Structures are given as C-alpha cells and as structure tokens.
Amino acid sequence: MLSVIDGSLTPCDIAIVGDRIVGTHGTYEGLRKIDAAGRIAVPGFIDMHLHVESSLVIPHEFDRCVLPHGVTTAICDPHEIANVLGAEGIRYFLASAEAVVMDLRVQLSSCVPATTFETSGARLEIGDLLPFADHPKVIGLAEFMNFPGVLASNENVLVKLAAFQEGHIDGHAPLVTGFDLNGYLAARIRTDHEATTAREAREKLAKGVSILISRRLGLQGSGGAQERRGCEHVFVHGALCTDDRNPLDIAEEGHLDHMICRLIADLKTRGVPFHHAYRVASWSAATAFGLRNRDLLAPGWRADVVLLDDVEHCKVHSVVAGGRPVERSLFAARKPVEPVGLSSMKANPVTADSFPVVAHNAPHPGDRGEGGPDPQRASQDEPAGARRGDLHKYRPGCD
Ligand SMILES: [Zn+2]
C-alpha cells in the first residue's frame, strides 16, 4: 500500500466493509478476499474536470470505458448536452450519474451558451439552475468561462455566482492575471484548469487557486527552472483533469493513468518522488473540490482502491470502487436511463445512395493490374492491431 502523504510503502491487508475502508496496516479475514500479492494499492483517481459528451459516449459507456483505468470519481460539466437540450439534458445527466458505478459528480453548467454569439439550443439562467442545486450529485457551478462578464459586473453573471457561494465554483480564466485575476477570484472562484504557463500558474497558486493540470498543458509548457519555481505547491494545491479524451485515445493510451505515467516521468527528471503524482490524482483533488470522504487509504475513508502492476508506469491491474470490485457483472447490473434528444440532430436521412463516389479516370472494377492499390490486398497487409478500430487489442496503462 502506498501512502500518498509520505510516499511510504507498507505490506498489509486493506479491510473493507460496505463502501468504507475499516482496517489497514495489519492482516484481516473477510468474506471475500482479493489477492493483491506483488501489487501496489493506491487511492482511486479523480478527474477534476471533463465533459462526458466530448468523449462521444453516454455516461453509462464512459463509466465502463474509464473506471477500469482507475478513475473512481469524475467531476463533470454537462455543458454540451445542456447547450443542446437545456435543463432536460442536465436532468438526463443527473439520472445517469445516479445509475453508474463510478462516482460521477456534476458541476452545473454556468455559461450556456458560452458566448452570446452562439446559436445554442438553450439558454440556462439562474432560474433553470437552482432546481438542481440540492441534488446529491451536484457540487456547485462549473467552469466560469465568462470572465469578462465577471469583471464587467454583468447582472446575469453575478446572480449565478451569488447563488453558489456556499458550493464550489470552478474557474476558467486563461491568461487572466493581476488586478483582473483579483476581481475574478473575489467572486469566490476556487479552481482553474486554463493556466498556460508556469508563471501564470504560480500567480494563481499564490492567490489561493487550486490548479488543475490538464492533459493538454501540464506545467512544463514554458520557462526554465527559475520560471517553474513555486509550482511544486501544485502537488498539494492541485489536481489532474483530462478536459476530454475520446474513446480511441482512452483505448490506445489510457485516461488519467496515462497522465499520471507522464507526470511521474516528468517528476523523475526533477528528482521528485512518484507519490506526489498519485497525491495530485487523488487526495489533493478531493480536497480541492470538498470531497472530504475519499482518497486516502485509511480507516474511515471511501473504499476506492486501484491495484497497480507497475507503480512507476501506472499500470492498472484492477479497481475497487466504493467497496465493489470492478467487474463485468457490476456494469451489467446498472439501471438504464431513458435517452433524450433523439430528434435533436437536424440532418437529411442517410441511405446507401448517399455514399457513391464517382472516381474519374479510374480503372473499371476487375480491371486490376494497371497500377493503383488493391484495396482488399492493402487491408490484408496491414499489421494486426494497426487499424484504429481494433480497440480490444489495447489495454490500460502506458509505456
Ligand atoms: Zn472544460
């Protein structure tokens, strides 16, 4: 078992009752045993900001796709479905969040549409958001992209911020610094995943912001050692977020496990031990969003446990989510949620006749040998697993 606090490794059992860890640092007997000999247990990973819709799958599929990679909690902004369907989309998302195995938490979409120039299917004003504010899956208000509106004291913006002062308000303020940053943060915005340079991240850290390291940016984007000084605090006051990853990338590279692997490699070059990466992915993340019951392997904490074959490369072997071993039957037992928005796509009907392609000057079919590739042959010659459709050939983790 790895302590994400001090980096110590302790050979021991972890006793679980229901959804809670009840014993560590000892040996225990139980009704069911999971043999983890030779493996290392770390707390479940938390993705602090993403939009499930941008993964191009529904929450039930996202659950099945990502939980085996160790992501036991994901904090989502259903911004895209809300952009199309408004409150109906959020209702669907919350119903799905209650049905899936992983703990899917929701930040209510703060800026629908994102700008007044968008032709979205819906607008969400404060009256549309408030009915969801007390839902058990809702944490607060999602990425507040309209930072010009905050700084200009726009009335519709301020009323949303005022209503969620007791919840968590997530930020989105690329390149906002100095007095503007003060003004933005004075609205009680607490996190940001859009820092583009170490200098910007350092100022935000100094002003109390929890920095979410996104897979796109990281903190190694610019500047040398001098520039990065101060950013080590991100290991306490930070978290990881994918801010979207499509299923092919998840299948080929992984999800947060891939980010952790990359982060460990980066930390290694700077002489920082790997347990900091696991802390950012778990305890620091939970603390930043006020999830106070999870992400330490200790008695009394939620039993979200990831068993690793390789701790330095974050190779996930298996996962326990809320005390339940993650296995096929768990996903099969989930309650389905009635789909919504099935008529939201405005496109002409597609038939076989929609696909003919006229190739000018091409040899007649069956007239091969005059040059040009043989499509059937080419496909047979591809190495096994080279086609991006062969998802089943890929396994979690990264090299
Ligand atoms: Zn986002």
| pLDDT of res. 4 | 95
CA of residue 398 to ligand 1 center, whole Å: 24
Lowest mean pLDDT among 181-190, 225-234, 306-315, 360-369: 225-234
Nearest to 110 by CA among 150, 59, 137, 69: 150
CA of residue 243 to ligand 1 center, whole Å: 5
Helix axes 59-66, 87-99, angle to 10 degrees: 40
| pLDDT of res. 170 | 94
CA of residue 4 to ligand 1 center, whole Å: 27
pLDDT band at 198 (very low <50, low <70, confident <90, very high): confident
Q: Are 46 and 75 in contact (CB under 8 A)?
A: yes
Q: Does residue 339 have a cis peptide bond before it, meaning omega lies within 30 degrees of 0? A: no
Lowest mean pLDDT among 24-38, 90-104, 187-201: 187-201
pLDDT tens per residue, range 276-310: 999 999 999 999 989 999 999 999 999 999 999 99
Lowest mean pLDDT among 51-55, 140-144, 229-233, 373-377: 373-377
CA of residue 76 to ligand 1 center, whole Å: 9
Q: Which amino acid is at 152?
A: A
pLDDT band at 364 (very low <50, low <70, confident <90, very high): low
Buried b (16+ CB within 10 A) or exposed e, 293-319: ebbbbeeebbbbbbbbeebebbbbbbb
Longest dimension (CA), the chain: 76
* Percentage above 90 pLDDT, the chain: 68
CA of residue 47 to ligand 1 center, whole Å: 12
| pLDDT of res. 215 | 65
**223 vs 79, which has greater pLDDT?**
79
CA of residue 51 to ligand 1 center, whole Å: 6
Q: Are strands 40-43 and 305-310 parallel, antiparallel or unpaired?
A: antiparallel
Lowest mean pLDDT among 129-143, 179-193, 232-246: 232-246
- The span from the CA of 388 to the CA of 247, in Å, is 11
pLDDT tens per residue, range 141-160: 999 999 999 999 999 999 99
CA of residue 290 to ligand 1 center, whole Å: 19
Q: What is the mean pLDDT of residues 342-355?
A: 86
CA of residue 248 to ligand 1 center, whole Å: 19
Mean pLDDT taken over the chain: 87
CA of residue 49 to ligand 1 center, whole Å: 6
- The span from the CA of 55 to the CA of 67, in Å, is 14
| pLDDT of res. 347 | 82
CA of residue 55 to ligand 1 center, whole Å: 12
CA of residue 384 to ligand 1 center, whole Å: 35
CA of residue 93 to ligand 1 center, whole Å: 16
Q: Are strands 315-321 and 40-43 parallel, antiparallel or unpaired?
A: unpaired
In Å, what is the CA distance from 140 to each residue of 103, 123, 172, 173?
15, 18, 14, 17
CA of residue 143 to ligand 1 center, whole Å: 7
Count the Cβ atoms, other than its own, within 10 Å of residue 395. 11
CA of residue 19 to ligand 1 center, whole Å: 30
Structural domains in the chain, CATH included, are: 13-332 (3.20.20.140)
